[in-house]
Structure 1
């Protein structure tokens, strides 16, 4: 690519950055931890689903710093090769010669990017890399990058971040005030309906935005990245998984439903969807690793609004939606967790583990008004408690306190 063309693209991107600082920005729950990481020279890697706010967070972190920026998620850069990356650095230095921080958006789109980033690190740049693929997680990165790095996973807004965006402040005592409780419930209903993608709240046609986003994730972050030949089948599988969020699945069952010859194809497709942060598999807890790997998994998805906008059999099952929200919050906190299911004991939604010890058992349901439901949920929790030797038991409901 000609140097002049590169400079024009970088100048265009710099103009786009100015818009970021004119929009409403809230502090993300991970922000303090991310800001602390700027104090050292480790490579910072911010990863998460497309449009969850990675770029906005990165620019917000660097707004008082002298920094350069290249966004590789640009259709004009789709054919860029690793050997051209130095031309981008030179063009950037000509435009803005005085910077020591460098933000590289979606650089994993360029095959062989790792050597370039390693060289930038040796040159003394303080680097932030963003990406929408979990292959940039630390375990994978250790094979690519020399030296240590700091990884941050970002998700769409939590309910707490959503309340910040809505300028809604409350104290614990406010939860006992009827008017405040009603406001929180109304906002929670909105959150359940539309989810937490940050751009969504300034867009009129929200469901269309979410459908378009889903198509872009599947097409650009899965089909094109992994060169999927049978696009239609993969999309049908992704729709099925999102529609059955909170349910148990087996690879064999999916193989039969979609009439695919190989279980490995199913496993690969789900793995690709996971790497794009569209769906997640939760493994069953067992003291035997073999049972964890072979047992049925539970499926969750990245956002409640996405479920509603594209699911072909969306139900207003508030219990399952709440379960999905709790799942995502546990992911945000970085917990190691599973579900527990034994025929004799029933199911516990979430088993949180720290090292060799089970720290907490969590059950999620819409409400406990129905006697049969209440007895079932409590019975499963108590039986799980005995089997897993954990007395820290929690039941999360929509608005009840027992």
Structure 2
């Protein structure tokens, strides 16, 4: 591409983005402050995540208005090749001078971008964004081993959702019945609509469009899927059966795919696009983890509610999904190398086991403990003792209590409180 062509695109994209940020109500993301620390010196920050989760806006906010910003998901750049990067720099220099920070938005659209980023990161701050978890695999990992920071951006947390809705919470607000009622009402809306930034403007039709784009563009087209209708059915089945176990062989029989390897590939494509996450069963034996069924969780409660084929989804499963997403979000935003599993044996199940170095935290999610208090607590204590964990967490709709049972400190708290605080305050010391 010619330098003058690139100038026109850069000017147009900057004007469009400036118009957007001046027109819209922008919310400071939970992760902005910690992410900004990684850009206090030349470095590469890779922001990955599901499409429409706000990657472009947070990149702009982190980089500043003087950065070179280019979004490659633009039809005018369809002919852009890796050899055009130097001309892109020339265009930016002629327009605004030497950029200290470069933002390459949806950079996976350009084949061979990795070498340019590797060269730039020596003297510049570089932000790359992408909608595929495989963006940093393969060749990219070779060029930037140990020289980049990776962040997975999720749709809005409940904290960010409250900011967007203009819910102001002062000191000791939780002791105000009026404020608490306002927060609980907002929680119901959050579980129903989810956290995609623009869903409040466009409603559930917007969620349908996001889902279609994810399945059709980010999965079927990107991977040139052969059995397209089977993949569509597979995606819809997994979305409808969120917070539940599945096996690849069972999925294959449901959608009519005989080859279990094809089913496994299709599920991995949905994961790469961040439409779903799959959760392995906890085991100290790697083989046990690989052979056990997995659980599935969509990327957003609004997607789950809107696209589910079930007429009346269980409240407990929706709460479980919200807790799972907050666990994943908290681990990503704190840049802590933690893992999350579920627990099941012949005596019972615990929804989540969070592993942080050598520390383990069991977490149980239930709408209410009223009807099964003794059984739920007894099973949680049993698993905690087996894992040698002195702490455990129970998330309910509104119950709150602290107790110690057989040497295990159990904190019971309502969902709104867990979503407001995040995972970090409850993690055991490592």
Asked whether the 8 Å contact 1:308–1:314 carries over to 2, the reply is no
- Partners of 1:235 and 1:108 in 2: CA distance: 23
Tell me, what secondary structure is at the counterpart of 1:227?
A: coil
Q: What is the alpha-carbon distance in structure 2 between the residues aligned to residue 10 and residue 275 of structure 1?
A: 29
The alignment status of 1:348 with 2:345, answered yes or no, reads no
Unpaired runs of 5+ residues, structure 1, are none
Alignment of 1:322-341 (within 5 A): 322-334=319-331, 335-341=338-344
Q: SS where residue 351 of structure 1 aligns? A: strand
Contact 1:193 1:308 in 2 (8 A): yes
Name the residue aligned to 2:261.
Answer: 264
Instruction: Give the deviation of 1:138 after TM superposition.
Output: 7.5
Q: Do structure 1's residue 368 and structure 2's residue 365 form an aligned pair?
A: no
**Of 309-318 and 329-338, the range deviating more from structure 2:** 309-318
For residues 283 and 171 of structure 1, the distance between their equivalents in structure 2, rounded to whole angstroms, comes to: 40
Deviation at 1:88, TM superposition (A): 2.5
Over the aligned positions, Cα root-mean-square deviation in angstroms equals 1.9
Cα distance in 1 for residues equivalent to 2:167 and 2:138: 38
Q: 1: distance between equivalents of 2:329 and 2:243?
A: 18
CA distance in 2, matches of 1:145, 1:134: 16
Q: Is the 8 A contact 1:72 1:105 kept in 2?
A: yes
Q: Distance in 1 between matches of 2:283 and 2:140?
A: 29
Runs of at least 5 residues in structure 2 that lack an aligned partner in the other structure: 332-337, 402-430
Q: 1:153 to 1:94 in 2, by over 3 A?
A: same
Paired residues for 1:383-394 under 5 Å:
383-394=382-393
TM-score, with length taken from structure 1 = 0.93
- 3-state SS, counterpart of residue 263 of structure 2: helix
Residue aligning to 2:413: none
Q: Summarize the Cα distance change of 1:78–1:378 in structure 2 as closer, same or farther, 3 Å threshold.
A: farther
Note if contact 2:44-2:126 (Cα within 8 Å) is conserved in structure 1. Answer: yes
SS at match of 1:134: coil
Match of 2:227 among 212, 230, 252: 230
**315-324 vs 286-295, which moves further:** 315-324
Q: TM-score, normalised by structure 2?
A: 0.87
1:163 equivalent in alignment to 2:166? no
Matched positions, count: 394
In structure 2, the partner of 1:274 is: 271
Cα deviation, 1:11-30, whole Å, max 9, x if unaligned, reads: 22111111233122221111
Q: What does residue 307 of structure 2 align with? A: 310
Q: Distance in 2 between matches of 1:140 and 1:282?
A: 27
Cα drift, residue 143 of structure 1: 2.2
Give secondary structure in 2 for the equivalent of 1:226.
Answer: coil
* Partner in structure 2 of residue 52 of structure 1: 53
Question: 1:136 is paired with a residue of what secondary structure?
Answer: coil
